[in-house]
């Protein structure tokens, strides 16, 4: 084990690049100050234009009108935007999950007759939870969505594993 001497860590004049060498290194990397400035200016202009149309920007520009209730486009993303696309994809995905839930209820549940005539399928929440847990970990959320769509019915606002294992879920369609 030796000690580092001061001369080992200090730079010599030959190690320090000259200004000409520095500019050659930057050119070799394809980076120039002019190119960086132009890219920054382009981004800045695009961002400024975006903020002018952003109703949630707090810079006080008059061009950014806040959304108004009652208008047809209130609460909807701009048409053709990525937000609109993601929303449609999410809607399709949850629709498939609701269909899978209804199929799981048909597979696990007991067929029966409806009070007003017709056929229904019923299943206890605990039994459905045991079966459905292998498919998805969001059973309660999908159940709430299916109830909102009028596909299933159950008592209570929320179902809890353990506490509501004997709650009856009825598939209406």
> Could you tell me the residue ranges of all domains in the chain?
18-66, 82-171
* Predicted pLDDT of residue 4: 52
Q: Residue 90: is it exposed, middle or buried by C-beta count within 10 angstroms (0-12/13-18/19+)? A: exposed
The residue behind tokens 């696990």 is 108
| CATH H-level superfamily of 82-171 | Costar domain (1.10.10.1540)
CA 64 to chain centre: 26
Q: Which of 107, 83, 93 is nearest to 142 (CA)?
A: 93
Q: Is the pTM of this model over 0.85?
A: no
Torsion of CA 93, 96, 101, 104, to 10 degrees: -140
* Predicted pLDDT of residue 122: 93
Q: Residue 77: is it exposed, middle or buried by C-beta count within 10 angstroms (0-12/13-18/19+)? A: middle
DSSP string, the chain: --PPPHHHHSPPTTTSPPHHHHHHHHHHTT--HHHHHHHHHHHHHHHHHHHHH-TT--S--TT-PPP-TTSTTTT-PPTTSHHHHHHHHHHHHHHHHHHHHHHHHHHHSEEEE-TTSSEEEEEEHHHHHHHHTTT-S-HHHHHHHHHHTTSEE-SSS---TTTTTT-EEEE--
| Sequence-ordered list of residues with C-beta below 8 angstroms from that of 25, at least 6 positions apart, any chain | 17
Question: pLDDT 10s per residue in the chain (173 long)?
Answer: 555 555 555 555 556 666 555 555 555 556 788 889 999 999 999 998 888 777 777 665 555 566 678 777 788 888 888 999 999 999 999 999 999 999 999 999 988 877 766 778 999 999 998 887 777 778 889 999 999 999 999 998 888 888 999 999 999 87
* Predicted pLDDT of residue 56: 74
């Amino acid at each position: 084990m030796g000690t580092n001497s001061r001369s080992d860590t200090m730079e010599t004049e030959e190690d320090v690049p000259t200004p000409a060498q520095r500019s050659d290194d930057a050119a070799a990397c394809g980076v120039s100050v002019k190119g960086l400035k132009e890219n920054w200016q382009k981004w800045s202009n695009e961002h400024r234009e975006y903020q002018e149309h952003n109703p949630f920007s707090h810079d006080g520009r008059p061009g950014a009108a806040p959304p108004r209730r009652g208008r047809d486009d209130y609460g909807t993303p701009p048409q053709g935007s990525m937000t609109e696309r993601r929303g449609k994809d999410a809607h399709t995905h949850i629709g498939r999950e609701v269909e899978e839930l209804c199929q799981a209820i048909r597979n696990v549940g007991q067929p029966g007759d409806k009070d007003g005539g017709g056929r229904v399928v019923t299943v206890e929440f605990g039994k459905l939870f045991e079966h459905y847990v292998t498919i998805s970990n969001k059973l309660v959320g999908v159940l709430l969505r299916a109830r909102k769509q009028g596909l299933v019915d159950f008592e209570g606002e929320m179902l809890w594993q353990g506490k509501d294992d004997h709650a009856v879920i009825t598939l209406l369609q």
